[in-house]
Amino acid sequence: MTDTLLAFLEHSADADDKEALCHAFKDFSELYGVEAFGYQVLPDPFEASDTSFTFEYNTFPAQMHEAYLEERLFEHDPVTSRAATALQPQFWFDVEQTSPGTRFSQRLFTLLRESGFTDGFTIPVFGPYGLAAFVACGRFSGAFDLTDIQLRVLQLASQELFSRTLILQKRDAPAPPHLSEREVEVLQWLARGKSNAVIAAILGVSPHTVDTILRRAFVKLEAPNRISAVLKALRSGLITL
């Protein structure tokens, strides 16, 4: 088991793009009885323009994949909601038995069965500053027979999948905007929870000047508000906590 995880970590490190990375995870997960998996990275919660939802990689039946997106079932998925708060894999049909039977959840579980799934679970994974993703693993031929340790290994591999995805995205992302020394300084204090008035007192300028500096930084960062500006600056390495 340790050897298979180490082998996946090696393949992950060698993967030069997301497609190769997901193929490596697919091959690894199949060793644990996974017959289909869907990897979904959630939209940035602090990015107003990032409202799309897509699968980074998906081997689910087409009818399941298409309905999940077209009917926006991801907005009402009780499995991902439970996984996000439990911080551990959640088996689909166990959640069905213990969650309120809304029409959306009923549609989801009916769709899973109609697509041929006999068992499955969803793993939550998390990144820096509110980023998150889910890895859904399913079977068509009976139930999973996994120990707690095997589930933990799959969760560790899923976390590596997401972490490596973020690294590849950062590598391919455009260079961050250039901020002036004053803009960085103001954002740094903003990240520490200081108000405009307090920042003005610290820097020996007027609150109006602080507001002007922040507005310039917002434009450069393409940020709609203070929280988004701070998070973008943090993720780009322009400021630190």
Q: Are residues 74 and 141 in the same domain?
A: yes
Mean predicted confidence (pLDDT) in 114-136: 93
CA distances (Å), 103 to each of 77, 79, 95, 110, 154, in order?
11, 14, 15, 10, 31
Residues 180-204 have pLDDT tens digits of 999 999 999 999 999 999 999 999 9
Q: Are residues 66 and 147 in the same domain?
A: yes
The CATH number covering residue 106 comes to 3.30.450.80
Q: Are residues 36 and 118 in the same domain?
A: yes
Q: Are residues 41 and 105 in the same domain?
A: yes
Binned at pLDDT 50, 70 and 90, residue 241 comes out as confident
Two tokens, residue 187: 């954002």
The CATH number covering residue 202 comes to 1.10.10.10
Average pLDDT across the chain, whole number: 90
Residues 40-72 have pLDDT tens digits of 988 766 665 555 667 889 999 999 989 998 998
Q: Are residues 77 and 6 in the same domain?
A: yes
Separation CA 55–CA 65 (nearest Å)? 9
**Structural domain tally of the chain?**
2
Identify whether 9 is part of a domain: yes
Supply the pLDDT for residue 124: 95
Q: Are 231 and 50 in contact (CB under 8 A)?
A: no
Q: Are residues 123 and 153 in the same domain?
A: yes
Mean predicted confidence (pLDDT) in 65-94: 91
Q: Are residues 18 and 118 in the same domain?
A: yes
Mean predicted confidence (pLDDT) in 196-217: 92
Identify whether 78 is part of a domain: yes
Identify whether 241 is part of a domain: no
Separation CA 17–CA 8 (nearest Å)? 15
Supply the pLDDT for residue 99: 85
Supply the pLDDT for residue 45: 63
Two tokens, residue 126: 């998390």
Helix extents (H) in 46-147: 62-70, 78-86, 92-98, 103-114
pLDDT at 16 over 90: yes
Residues 127-181 have pLDDT tens digits of 887 789 999 999 999 999 999 999 999 999 999 999 999 999 887 667 888 999 9
Residues spanned by the domain of 149 = 2-172
Identify whether 240 is part of a domain: no
Of 127, 142, 172, the position where a domain reaches its end is 172
Q: Are residues 118 and 225 in the same domain?
A: no
Q: Are residues 42 and 156 in the same domain?
A: yes
- Of the two residues 222 and 164, the one the predictor is more confident about is 164
Identify whether 217 is part of a domain: yes
Tell me which of 12-21, 25-34, 219-228 is least confident. Answer: 219-228
Identify whether 60 is part of a domain: yes
Q: Are residues 143 and 206 in the same domain?
A: no
Supply the pLDDT for residue 48: 54
| Percent of the chain whose predicted confidence (pLDDT) is above 70 | 95
pLDDT at 208 over 90: yes
Of 172, 189, 219, the position where a domain reaches its end is 172
